[in-house]
Amino acid sequence: MAHYYYPLSTRDFAFENIFSSESVSPASYYAKRAFGFDYFPVLPAVNNDEAILLFSKPPAYEDPNNAKFILKIAEGALNPAELVFIAEGVFAYYNTIYLDKGLASILFFSAKDIRMAILKANTSLPTKVAEKYIASFEIISNADCRVFPPVLPGVVRTDEDASLKIILDKRFNHFKGFIYGLVIGHIANDRKKERGLKMRFQEITNAFAELKSRIDSQQTVKGKGEIHLYIEKLFRAVNIAEIEHDQFQYGSDVDEDLLVEYLLSKLSRLKTAKDVNHYLDIVISNDELLGSSNYKTILDDYLLNRRSSVGHFIELRRNIQQFIDVFQSATRSVHSADEINNRIKLLLKNTADTHQEQLSARTYDLRLDLTSISYDIVENKVTFNMSQSYLNATPDNEFTFIINAILKFAKSNKGPARKEMILKIVEEVGSSYTKGGKETLLYQYLENRIDVYSLEKASNLIMKNFVAFTFNPDSLEKLDDFLMSKSVEERWMAYTFWGAYNGFANISRNYTADIFSSQNLELQEQIDQYLRQFILTVVNTKPSVSDTIKVVEVADPVLVIPDQAGLEDSLVGFFNLQVANHYKLSLEEFAQVVKLTQQKDFQDELKSKYQIAKKESLKLFNAVKKYFDPNALFR
């Protein structure tokens, strides 16, 4: 199979950009597509704004201040109809290239460049798929590169169909976000017990801090009896954490024969397995009669002792006991207590870290059949063709309807969610219940027409997850915290809604680490194999379909500064809060700048007159818009 070569460098986060979306597009796409990074650098002579310049051999080029790398792309990843001959060995490709492990390699010029690229990727939360491609990182030398004549700007034509291709690119990004949100959500849903184990480690830390605080203030405590309660609480927290850790590590199933053997070794009066079973029958009957939990205590003791405990827990108990012994000693040594205190803190950290490593090392078997999900990119709609319903017929239809409403009004701006888009989604979903979606309580609450909306008003689990998403459309972490705090079940649905709205490029590496771990290559391939069919559709969709594609138009962001009494005080308040001491602007200068309501004009003014960088001016623009816009979703 023939290959083509795309010369790049680490300038302006190009590497991080590519591996946040797992794709690369003509540079002109980035400012218009409203997802991921909004800029892509262009290297003179070997890159172009309107198209991706591909070479038949690795080209010779320079970028003295940045590390060079070359994307090696197999022809199977390209649509031949979009590949235009420019000069001998040089082609212009007028489309997005979607990376595939089997069809792409990344060529670096030194091992150091690879290490630095990976290091930078690991510090960028959107850059999530670099680890997936590490096996495809290769080293070449400058001697392997061929000199091509420079490509002059006028040689590459403007693509009349670029707007359509950007729409398709954006749609695929949100569909891919929907799929990854679905997978991430199922992983999170299946592993909620593991999150509970993290909380157990925190409970040990809290119990130890409580005990230490009581010990440090012993003079104000009435006797040592009260301290004993805190000691018991600490050891109880350690026992609970160890039991849950063993269940996580070895499973929670109880082998009845091994349980009998264990009790025979512990209870000298019981001589046979029949004696043990009779004893257990009595314990269980008493629990049912008296509401006690003696049988559970026996099981916990068995689970705790069925294997030699993890070394961290043994060491932890020993150090806690030493700490207590120092406290109870007549010749109490502050230095000894501090030393043991530091050891206990380190042990707690190591135990939690070990648990996290074990989590990362686990493989995940996706039980959901992705092939049962279809997607029409022209209609921008998904359908589910599941042989066995995962909820029931009515909720399944409801879930599908919500997903399609979100895809229809998917995020189309940088920064926080726009209130009008969330309201559009809520109105669309609400219209399936009433003639006027705007009359639903959720819509009225989000539009500030009513003051209170309880999650309990949601009719079922799907709607509870949908409401949770509408309250937390920007941060997946905040969404998850909300779901946990409200005890919302089946939270994979909310993850799916969030992924569909924000798109794949905006998902943080914190949530894809499980998928792209080297332990989950089979899962990666399962997802890739499913998505390939849609990549082929996106890449090969003909421009003539533009007549059938309906696009939800969203106006460019503008500032809405209300003309009202007290506006001057509001400006002063905002200036003191977010401008003074942060930007070299006086109040009078700031008041003039905010009169420029168009984002581009606002940023150009700050850059040309006050030398404020693009990133900082965008931050200020969004802050002003959020502060003064009465339609802002969250204050």
Segment 50-105, tens digit of pLDDT = 999 999 999 999 999 999 999 999 999 999 999 999 999 999 999 999 999 999 99
The predicted-structure confidence for 230-257, as pLDDT tens digits, reads as follows 888 889 888 888 877 776 666 556 677 7
What is the structure's pLDDT at 380? 95
For the chain, percent of residues with pLDDT exceeding 70: 82
What is the structure's pLDDT at 634? 36
- Written as six digits, the tokens of 626 are 């959020």
User: Comparing C-alpha atoms, which of 454, 463, 457 is closest to residue 494?
Assistant: 463
Query: Torsions phi, psi of 489, nearest 5?
Result: -80, 165
User: Comparing C-alpha atoms, which of 529, 523, 465, 533 is closest to residue 183?
Assistant: 523
pTM of the model: 0.69
Distance CA 281, CA 284 (A): 5
Q: In 134-217, which ranges are E strands? A: 137-139
Higher pLDDT, 358 or 530: 530
For 547, residues 6+ apart whose C-beta sits below 8 A from its C-beta are none
Asked if residues 538 and 172 have their Cβ atoms less than 8 Å apart, the reply is yes
Asked if residues 495 and 192 have their Cβ atoms less than 8 Å apart, the reply is no
Reported confidence tier of residue 558, pLDDT bands at 50, 70, 90: low
Reported confidence tier of residue 561, pLDDT bands at 50, 70, 90: low
User: Comparing C-alpha atoms, which of 148, 142, 81, 188 is closest to residue 479?
Assistant: 188
What is the structure's pLDDT at 334? 57
For 9, residues 6+ apart whose C-beta sits below 8 A from its C-beta are 41, 43, 63, 66, 67, 68, 69
Length of the chain: 635
The predicted-structure confidence for 370-423, as pLDDT tens digits, reads as follows 999 999 999 999 998 765 445 544 456 889 999 999 999 999 888 889 889 999
Residue with tokens 């500032």: 559
The predicted-structure confidence for 305-357, as pLDDT tens digits, reads as follows 655 445 677 888 888 888 888 777 655 555 566 777 777 777 777 776 776 66
**Mean residue pLDDT across the chain:** 84
What type of residue sits at position 529? Answer: Q
Alpha helices in 24-137 (DSSP H): 111-122
Q: Residues 122-128: what's their mean pLDDT?
A: 91
- Written as six digits, the tokens of 602 are 């606002």
What type of residue sits at position 292? Answer: S
Distance from the first to the final alpha carbon of the chain: 55
Distance CA 344, CA 319 (A): 6
Coarse DSSP helix, strand, coil percentages of the chain, rounded to the nearest 5 percent: 60, 10, 35
Q: Is 58 helix (H, G, I), strand (E, B) or coil?
A: coil
Pairing of strands 104-108, 137-139: parallel
Angle between helices 192-216 and 225-250 (to 10 degrees): 160
- Written as six digits, the tokens of 473 are 């459309």
The answer to whether residue 524 scores a pLDDT higher than 60 is yes
Most confident of 105-114, 210-219, 450-459: 105-114
Asked if residues 114 and 139 have their Cβ atoms less than 8 Å apart, the reply is yes
| DSSP structure class, residue 308 | P
The predicted-structure confidence for 252-280, as pLDDT tens digits, reads as follows 566 777 788 888 888 888 889 888 999 99
| DSSP structure class, residue 24 | E
For 606, residues 6+ apart whose C-beta sits below 8 A from its C-beta are 593, 612, 616, 617, 620
